[in-house]
């Protein structure tokens, strides 16, 4: 739910978190190369995020719903999805489209009923797909009964469930955000800024106090220093676990505690889209108490077999990411989201202005770090979500042809599904859905875009309805007026058209997830980076469990043909007689040694522009 650019910008202002290139030790490299026999489901999972408003409308009101998700489980199973993460579908005023929750133990009527949810759970189980829910613990809606009660007086049962403050005195009643308090004029207690523009403090006349909100003013932050709040939220978690969900994606979990001193935060030196000075969130995010909270939450979830926690975590480096797993005796998150590979553009000194993240150096750095610096924990790679431009647009340039862009998307999919990481994807990424940013303010639905236009255009562009067919409304709805407009490229980019094209991105993704499940090296193998000084081609090998064969992956991240020279015996200690092409973006034939009496040979392979090559080592 966060604006990623702002979060990373704030994090990178901290000298202690400055990024420094690291070289793995021989022991770390050797450990990463060892195949695993761990069958824990989430360590191999393909997790598919569904934004419920935009996936499939079953009743013709122009808004996606739970029954729409149920109707597409065959598609998701065929795609190779192990679990779906459903963005919030709880009752909500929809100020932030579900991330402002007014009841944690029910379904918003626009999405269906609890009976519909139970049918989805049962059908998903029959399709071997697990359900993960989005749990928003940092804040509630201002329409939640807890906040309505809390805001009514200073003595009600929920009076201390949110962050309230009298403010600090001012002699100037015309000062920004000044209000008449019980003892004179006051302004907010500090300079904290909301991530969604403006001051993080909002006045309530009935209490004659300010309340704190990290996000919208309609999303007041809960006070987790009150034990009653934690108990209520853990009860909500148990409600859904008892119903049968397999875990949760924890929204904005790093922001649930604030420094009780309420000191001013350092400023970033920038103004937000509304003109308010941005603070850097060092006193309102990533406080040590968050880790203690996660340990207690993990204890609750661990009482249910095979359940797990994903965390929405944005970190400036892999070392910081490691801390969110916890320790062996105090575990926290099973899968904190690793957004460094898929979103972080500042890494490794890369300055390619045309396409700063599509470089072999960037991918090699963050894959290597994830495999060697997490103490054996499973990474969770992610390239797309509901808060950021789609990867199709971020990793490509307007000057590239459609074919080049599609091949770049295939490179991203190959990394997502052939590394050792668990995979988190977003609806529509498998068909190459693009970002459709509104061009007029009157078309904007996202409040960030409404208040910040034109500097901030909001997140509607990455949330447009799923494109199922080339027919009316892209097969998403029978209603001519969908909640967001259908992307204008739906006639060519849709599941129906791509399912019949053997070279489409959809078929590519299906082939990758099938290989991921069926090939022992891709399912259980370790990983060894190859040709580490190559600036153009990323190559790595997935080592094989006993009785299986390793798999080589080479990805040309440039617009020019590239020839690689891979001596697998020297680079990975693997004797090679031939490479059997499993599949790729080009018709690359089997490569055999000239003299098979030799134990190994150097593979000379020319990759076309933006080509992906996946081969089994014979």
Domain residue ranges of the chain, discontinuous segments joined by +: 4-12+40-140+227-410+419-507, 145-212, 519-617
Specify the pLDDT at position 74.
98
pLDDT for residue 602 = 60
What is the architecture of the domain spanning 519-617?
A: Sandwich (2.60)
Of 280, 287, 278, 95, which is closest to residue 199 (Cα–Cα)?
278
Of the residues 100, 230, 251, 524, only one is catalytic, namely 251
| Residue 344: Cβ within 10 Å count | 25
Chain-centre distance for alpha carbon 81: 16
Q: How is residue 462 annotated by DSSP? A: G
Quote the CA–CA distance of 550 and 615 in Å, as a whole number: 9
- Pull the structure tokens for residue 109: 């009527």
Of the candidates 49, 82, 100, 312, the residue annotated as catalytic is 312
pLDDT score of 4 more than 60: no
Question: Looking at residues 509-514, what average pLDDT do you find?
Answer: 97
pLDDT by residue (tens digit) across 454-486? 989 999 999 999 999 999 999 999 999 999 999
- Active-site residue, 312 included: yes
What number is the average pLDDT over the span 193-222?
Answer: 97
pLDDT tens digits for 135-164?
A: 999 999 999 999 999 999 999 999 999 999
Going by pLDDT thresholds of 50, 70 and 90, the confidence category of residue 355 is very low
- Work out the percent of the chain whose per-residue pLDDT is above 90: 85
- pLDDT tens, residue by residue, 577-593: 778 888 887 655 444 44
Q: In angstroms, rounded to a whole number, what is the distance separating the alpha carbons of residues 396 and 416?
A: 17
pLDDT in tens, 116-143: 999 999 999 999 999 999 999 999 999 9
Same fold, 4-12+40-140+227-410+419-507 and 145-212: no
Between 309 and 21, the higher pLDDT residue = 309
pLDDT recorded at residue 22: 66
Q: What is the mean pLDDT of residues 368-393?
A: 96
pLDDT averaged over every residue in the chain? 92
Return the pLDDT at 586.
Answer: 67
352-356, 372-376, 401-405, 406-410 — which is least confidently predicted? 352-356
Pick the CATH number of 4-12+40-140+227-410+419-507 from 3.20.20.80, 3.30.70.3340, 3.90.550.10, 3.60.20.10: 3.20.20.80
Cβ neighbour number for residue 22 with a 10 Å cutoff? 15
Q: Nearest Cα to 1, choosing from 380, 458, 338?
A: 458
* Residue 357: other Cβ atoms inside 10 A: 22
C-alpha to C-alpha distance for 110 and 108, rounded to whole angstroms: 5
Place of tokens 């709805």: 477
The long-range contacts involving 152-158, CB below 8 angstroms and separated by at least 24 positions, are 152/206, 152/207, 153/206, 153/207, 154/207, 154/209
pLDDT at 608 over 50: yes
Pair of tokens at residue 594: 């000239």
As a whole number, mean pLDDT of residues 412-435 equals: 98
Q: Which residue has the tokens 């099938």?
A: 514
In tens, the pLDDT along 528-561 reads 999 999 999 999 999 999 999 999 999 999 999 9
pLDDT > 90? residue 388: yes
Indicate whether 87 pLDDT > 80.
Answer: yes
Q: Which of 332, 360, 336, 337 is nearest to 347 (CA)?
A: 360
Percent of residues, the chain, with pLDDT higher than 70: 92
In this prediction, residue 582 carries a pLDDT of 87
Q: For 276-288, what is the mean pLDDT?
A: 97
Q: Judge: domain 145-212, CATH 3.60.130.10.
A: no
Q: Looking at residue 348, what is its pLDDT?
A: 36
Angle at 336 between CA 333 and CA 341, to 5 degrees: 165
- Indicate if the pLDDT at residue 189 is higher than 90: yes
Q: Tell me what pLDDT residue 604 has.
A: 81
Told to judge if 265 belongs to the known catalytic residues of this protein, a careful annotator would answer no
């Amino acid at each position: 739910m966060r604006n990623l650019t702002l979060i990373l910008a704030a994090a990178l202002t901290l000298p202690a978190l400055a990024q420094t290139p690291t070289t793995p030790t021989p022991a770390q490299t050797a450990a990463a190369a060892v195949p695993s026999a761990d069958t824990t489901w989430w360590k191999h999972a393909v997790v598919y995020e569904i934004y419920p408003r935009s996936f499939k409308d079953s009743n013709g009101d122009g808004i996606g719903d739970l029954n729409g998700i149920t109707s597409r489980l065959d598609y998701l199973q065929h795609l190779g999805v192990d679990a779906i993460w459903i963005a919030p579908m709880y009752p909500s005023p929809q100020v932030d489209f579900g991330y402002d929750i007014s009841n944690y133990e029910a379904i918003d009527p626009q999405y269906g009923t609890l009976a519909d949810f139970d049918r989805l759970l049962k059908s998903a189980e029959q399709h071997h797909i697990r359900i993960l829910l989005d749990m928003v613990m940092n804040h509630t809606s201002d329409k939640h009964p807890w906040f309505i009660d809390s805001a009514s007086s200073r003595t009600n049962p929920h009076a201390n469930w949110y962050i309230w403050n009298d403010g600090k005195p001012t002699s100037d009643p015309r000062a920004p955000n000044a209000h008449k308090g019980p003892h004179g004029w006051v302004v907010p207690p500090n300079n904290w800024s909301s991530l969604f523009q403006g001051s993080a403090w909002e006045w309530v006349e009935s209490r004659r106090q300010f309340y704190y909100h990290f996000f919208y003013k309609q999303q007041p932050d809960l006070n987790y220093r009150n034990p009653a709040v934690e108990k209520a939220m853990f009860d909500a978690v148990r409600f859904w676990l008892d119903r049968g969900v397999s875990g949760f994606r924890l929204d904005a979990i790093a922001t649930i505690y604030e420094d009780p001193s309420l000191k001013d935060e350092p400023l970033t030196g920038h103004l937000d889209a509304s003109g308010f000075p941005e603070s850097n969130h060092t006193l309102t995010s990533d406080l040590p108490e968050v880790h203690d909270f996660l340990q207690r939450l993990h204890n609750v979830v661990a009482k249910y077999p095979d359940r797990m926690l994903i965390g929405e975590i944005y970190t400036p480096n892999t070392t910081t990411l490691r801390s969110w797993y916890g320790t062996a005796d105090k575990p926290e998150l099973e899968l904190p989201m690793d957004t460094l590979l898929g979103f972080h553009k500042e890494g490794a000194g890369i300055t390619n202005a045309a396409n700063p993240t599509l470089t072999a150096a960037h991918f090699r750095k963050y894959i290597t770090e994830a495999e060697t610096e997490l103490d054996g924990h499973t990474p969770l790679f992610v390239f797309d979500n509901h808060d950021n431009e789609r990867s199709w647009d971020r990793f490509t340039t307007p000057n590239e042809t459609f074919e080049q862009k599609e091949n770049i998307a295939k490179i991203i999919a190959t990394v997502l599904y052939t590394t050792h990481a668990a995979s988190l994807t977003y609806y529509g990424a498998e068909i190459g859905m693009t970002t459709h940013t509104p061009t007029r303010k009157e078309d904007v639905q996202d409040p960030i875009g409404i208040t910040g236009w034109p500097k901030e255009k909001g997140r509607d562009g990455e949330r447009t309805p799923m494109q199922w067919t080339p027919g009316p409304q892209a097969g998403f709805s029978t209603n001519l007026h969908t909640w967001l407009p259908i992307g204008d490229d739906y006639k060519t980019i849709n599941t129906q058209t791509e399912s019949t094209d053997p070279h489409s991105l959809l078929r590519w993704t299906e082939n990758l997830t099938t290989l991921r499940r069926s090939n022992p090296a891709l399912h259980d193998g370790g990983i060894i980076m190859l040709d580490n000084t190559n600036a153009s081609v990323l190559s790595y090998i997935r080592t094989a469990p006993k009785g299986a064969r390793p798999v080589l992956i080479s990805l040309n991240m440039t617009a020019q043909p590239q020839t690689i020279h891979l001596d697998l015996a020297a680079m990975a200690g693997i004797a090679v007689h031939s490479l059997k092409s499993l599949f790729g973006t080009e018709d690359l034939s089997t490569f055999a040694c000239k003299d098979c009496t030799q134990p190994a040979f150097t593979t000379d392979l020319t990759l076309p522009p933006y080509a992906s090559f996946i081969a089994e080592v014979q």
